[in-house]
Structure 1
Amino acid sequence: MQATAYTYDPETHSGQVLLDDGTPVPFDGPAFDRGGLRMLRPGQRVRIELEGEQDDRRITLVTLHTF
């Protein structure tokens, strides 16, 4: 699934992405680290993997979206 980086804390490697419908979804440091990224800027398009349903959704992977 694709999303847009919204916030990112370089110290904890956590932040939020916005889904294409505008829904913010947080991610934690381990999800960011699994993607092999070094940093993330707000506005970047990312690919995410989600687990769970609706309010119990959590991001398990964040990586850059490449065309």
Structure 2
Amino acid sequence: MQATAYTYDPQTRSGSVLLDDGTPVPFDAAAFDAGGLRLLRPGQRVRIEYAGQGESAGTISLVTLQTF
């Protein structure tokens, strides 16, 4: 799924993205690290993946740059 980077804190390596409908969704350092990124700027298009099912459903597990 695609989204737009909204916030990013380089100290904690966490932040949030905006889905295309405008909904903000937070991500943690584990999701950021899984994507192999070093830096993220607000406004960049990103690709996100969600984790599993149950309690973790809806949790972002991967954030990486969107490439065409």
TM-score normalised to structure 1 length: 0.91
> CA–CA distance in 2 between the matches of 1:58 and 1:25?
8
Give the match's secondary structure for 1:31: helix
Instruction: Quote the residue 1:23 is aligned against.
Output: 23
> C-alpha separation between the residues in 1 aligned to 2:22 and 2:59?
16
Coordinate RMSD, CA, aligned = 1.3
Matches within 5 A, 1:50-65: 50-51=50-51, 52=53, 57-65=58-66
For residues 10-48 of structure 1, what are the alpha-carbon distances to aligned partners after superposition, in whole Å with 9 as ceiling and x for unaligned? 011000000000000000000000000000000000000
TM value normalised by structure 2: 0.90
Q: How many residues align?
A: 65
Gaps of 5+ in 2: none
Percent identity of equivalent pairs: 75
Higher strand share: 1
